[in-house]
Chain A
Amino acid sequence: MTVLARPRALPSSYASSRRHRGDPMRWVFFAAFLVVTFALMLPVIIIVLTAFKPASEVNAFPPTLFPHQWTLANFEAIFSELPFGRLILNSFGFAGGVTVFALVFDSLAAYALARLDFRGSRILLIVIIASLMIPFQATLIPIYQLVSQLGWVNTFAGLIAPRAADAFGIFFLRQFFVSLPRDLDNAARIDGASEWRVFRSIVLPNAVPALLTLGIFLFVNNWNDLLWPLVFTTDQNMGTITSGLTLLTGPGGIIPQGVMMAGALLALLPLAIMFLLVQRRFIESVASTGLK
């Protein structure tokens, strides 16, 4: 935003400011922000670099940023300590399943709240927003009792079903749908289109950025969730990569920090790749259509 960056003395219109590409202050600004970014990224950098360090260097004083000797020993160790391939598959099943179901169910409910003016819709919205405030730890005991009565402990159903719809997603999408212009869907309604058709052919295609944003949000949150898979899976082969990693630091797990960082890097990699693939469209399309 030009607000912070541009001193008053600069040319008075935005078009002319673009001509100042060669402005040397631009690169001072860039260098300063690069330093800030490096400082903010230090924990990620340390995970990546420590994962390739031999144990002797991980605990050495004085500490160094880069490994002197690069090694893959930490990665070999993590696959021999844990059923790592299986854990990665479980993480994809759990986080992917929750994402798909929640996107479908949340968008349907959000459409009803944003577009189908019905009696009690405002109260329902307030109840849904209020339920956002419920810490999930508060209901974990009754949810666990319910899931175990259904015989769903250690199954994907038990992991996914309780999260197949969520108040945050409904609220988030409803806010987005409300901001979309109604001219198009009104025109379609006048032409006799059903609400389902308006939803599918007009609102959803215009809501791709919001769905992408929410989808990434859901996937990342569930991939990274720790308490949920710990509670609903007692069988280590049903655990996720995040809950599996805690076994390394848990009781009796005196695991070198280098191995832990290798596991952390592998847990992070799919999310980082996924985000880098879609980030341009993700952020830019959000900006062009608007996001609450």
Chain B
Amino acid sequence: MTTHNLVRPRRYRPPAQLGGRTPLNGSFKRRATIVGFLAPALIILGAFVAWPMISALQLSFTDASGFGTPEFVGLDNYVRVFTDGEILQSMGNTALYAVLFTPTAIVVALLLALVINSPRLPFRGFFRSTLFLPFIVSLAVAAFAWSYLLDPQIGLLNYWLQAVGIRIGNVLQDPTLSMPTVVVVAVWKSFGFYMVIFLAGLQEIPTSLYEAAQLDGAGGWKRFTNVTFPMLSNTITFVVIVALIAALQAFDQIYVLTGGGPYRSTETIVMQIYQSGFKDLDLGFASALSYVLLIVTLLLSLLQFLFFGRRSKDINS
């Protein structure tokens, strides 16, 4: 975000339109150009995102099960979503997961990016590439490696921690530790990606700003709060949105690591959607649940845009 945005006029018009209204002879051609650029992506998104959403909305008002003719059941599925104890618990779990995951992933990624960006650190390229590596490991494989490391009998991590007097026991079977463990694995898997995005943002900040701050006598923390943080605000907005969406859709690592257990302590909304849609074939109910998740997610991101809106010129301009 960039310095370019600061000097760019708020509302840009292409030169052809500067002289007044769109010239008539350019109008059709221009429209055709716009359609040409947009059509391929919009056709794909229409067929495989928009239409399935409509189809799923229809399903959510029926008792569809994949067999026989679905019957209209009104709001029954939605009433069930908000009265079923298991579903309410999985909503709480999803909120907990998002609250633990999003800030942890962002703080870890930002701290690592700040360290790697330091000119005092030798072999920065080595660290940068190495720390990105977890991002390219699949969640299934990452979950497998972690459960082997944390195994209470033969796990290396457990063995080393015991040697220094820390007993973590069987974390994946402990209802209070299972969710933090699942979050740790997810943070491990994704911090590399967020870190690279932060690094790019950090390297974009002109050194002259730091020099000016230093001449004014600003210390390390002041330079962070007055230069780094404001200059990174758009990057941070982007990462927060992406991380929050990832958190609310969490599924793979939980499916592989705990299957939702122990005692439903890691059962999330998407786990429930999978269970009711693909295991119980309760398609109507699964679709209603998907819609509730969708609406919650949309509301959250709307709040976020309002909160960050003033600074994120990209969306507003």
Residues B16 and A189 in contact, CB atoms below 8 Å apart: yes
Residues B154 and A182 in contact, CB atoms below 8 Å apart: no
B24 within 8 A of A: no
A182 vs B14: C-alpha distance in the bound complex, in angstroms? 10
A44 within 8 A of B: yes
A69 within 8 A of B: no
Q: Which residues of chain B come closer than 8 Å to A137, judged between CB atoms?
A: 249, 251, 270, 273-274, 277, 290
Residues B290 and A1 in contact, CB atoms below 8 Å apart: no
Residues B293 and A41 in contact, CB atoms below 8 Å apart: no
Per-residue 0/1 for B22-50: is the Cβ within 8 Å of any A Cβ (1 yes, 0 no)?
00000000110110111011101101111
Q: Which residues of chain B come closer than 8 Å to A217, judged between CB atoms?
A: 193
Q: Which residues of chain A come closer than 8 Å to B50, judged between CB atoms?
A: 131
Residues A37 and B130 in contact, CB atoms below 8 Å apart: yes
Contacts known (A27-B122, A134-B53); A175 close to B2, Cβ less than 8 A: no
Q: Closest CB-CB distance, B203 to chain A, in whole Å? A: 4
B78 within 8 A of A: no
Residue from the list A2, A13, A116, A178 in contact with B34, Cβ < 8 A: A116
Binding site for B on A (CB under 8 A): 1-8, 12-14, 17-18, 20, 23, 25-27, 29-30, 33, 37, 40-44, 46-47, 50, 58-65, 104-106, 108-109, 111-112, 116-118, 124-125, 128-143, 145-146, 161-168, 170, 175, 178-182, 186, 189-190, 194-196, 199, 213, 217, 220, 223-227, 242, 245-246, 249, 257, 260-261, 264, 267-268, 271-272, 275-276, 279-280, 283, 286-288, 290-292
14 additional contacts, CB 8 Å, given A1-B118, A43-B142, A178-B314? A4-B114, A4-B224, A30-B121, A43-B188, A116-B34, A130-B301, A133-B294, A138-B287, A138-B290, A167-B45, A179-B2, A226-B139, A276-B129, A280-B125
Binding site for A on B (CB under 8 A): 1-2, 4-5, 8, 12-17, 30-31, 33-34, 36-38, 40-42, 44-45, 47-53, 55-56, 59, 111, 113-115, 117-123, 125, 127-142, 144-146, 148-149, 153-157, 159, 188, 193, 196-197, 199-204, 207, 210-211, 214-215, 219-221, 223-224, 227-228, 234-235, 238, 241-242, 245, 248-249, 251-252, 270, 273-274, 277-278, 283, 286-287, 290-291, 293-294, 297-298, 301, 314-315, 317
